[in-house]
Amino acid sequence: MLPPTEYLLAFSIAALLLTITPGLDTALVLRTAAVEGGRRALQAGLGIAAGCLGWGLIAAAGLGALLAASEAAYNVLRWIGALYLFYLGFKLLRAPAREFASDLPRQGDSSQGWFWRGFLTNMLNPKVGVFYVSFLPQFIPLGTNVFASSTVLALIHAVLGIGWFVALILATRPISRVLRRPTVTQWLDRITGLVFVGFGVRLLASHRH
């Protein structure tokens, strides 16, 4: 048995507000859309959405409770996630793009790399896991199937995220000519790199509540 309609609606509203709140996911998709193009940005967005669904399944299976309860497990994932963000950030700072990606030679499987980049950015953030463990149960009433309900709620969150990322990608199209300028793309990469490094520092300095 799944949650009643009012629970699904309440979760959808809360999840939408959380989705559109500026954060690391938004920064990653915007930067990718501006510098790498819409196709790769969509791949990154799909990877992020897959990460949300992955955390939802982990929480539904009860494994997320281990992350919430174990300080060691949380800290290990926190350090791995922060190091990954540092890697992405310093890579952008060290070698910012010199021209718009659509003018560069395309590699056949390059877009798949952006999917995994979005997926890992989400899955290596322990705060997302703790969020799912603490947030989803509030919208699962007693008497319902916990695994099925958690999966449905995570799927709703993933779909909302994809919709938001598509809107961000479309928003970059009217200013695509400006974004093609080498100076603009270099500054976008530098700013995004600083954002990634900042989120990595924030993740290392964060403590669970």
User: What angle do helix axes 5-20 and 146-172 make, rounded to 10 degrees?
Assistant: 40
- Per-residue pLDDT, averaged over 46-52, amounts to 94
Report the pLDDT value the prediction gives residue 180, as an integer from 0 to 100: 64
What is the percent of the chain where pLDDT is above 70? 85
* Distance (Å, whole) CA 207 – CA 3: 32
CB within 8 Å of 201: residues ≥ 6 apart: 82
Report the pLDDT value the prediction gives residue 140, as an integer from 0 to 100: 77
Average pLDDT, the chain: 79
pLDDT in tens, 174-195: 876 676 677 777 787 788 788 8
* Distance (Å, whole) CA 192 – CA 188: 6
DSSP string of 160-203, one letter each residue: HHHHHHHHHHHHHGGGHHHHTSHHHHHHHHHHHHHHHHHHHHHH
| Extents of the domains making up the chain | 5-10+23-205
Report the pLDDT value the prediction gives residue 106, as an integer from 0 to 100: 43
- State both tokens at 189: 């990469």
CB 199 within 8 A of CB 83: no
What is the percent of the chain where pLDDT is above 90? 16
* Distance (Å, whole) CA 183 – CA 166: 25
Closest CA to 69 of 167, 175, 208: 208
| pLDDT beyond 90 at 202 | no
Report the pLDDT value the prediction gives residue 196, as an integer from 0 to 100: 80
pLDDT band at 162 (very low <50, low <70, confident <90, very high): very high
Report the pLDDT value the prediction gives residue 134, as an integer from 0 to 100: 72
- Per-residue pLDDT, averaged over 129-136, amounts to 76
pLDDT in tens, 83-129: 888 888 888 788 776 543 433 334 444 567 889 989 998 888 877 87
Report the pLDDT value the prediction gives residue 115, as an integer from 0 to 100: 93
CA 110: distance to chain centroid?
A: 19
Report the pLDDT value the prediction gives residue 176, as an integer from 0 to 100: 65
When mean pLDDT is compared over 130-134, 141-145, 178-182, 199-203, the highest value belongs to 199-203
- Per-residue pLDDT, averaged over 48-64, amounts to 84
How much is the pTM?
A: 0.74
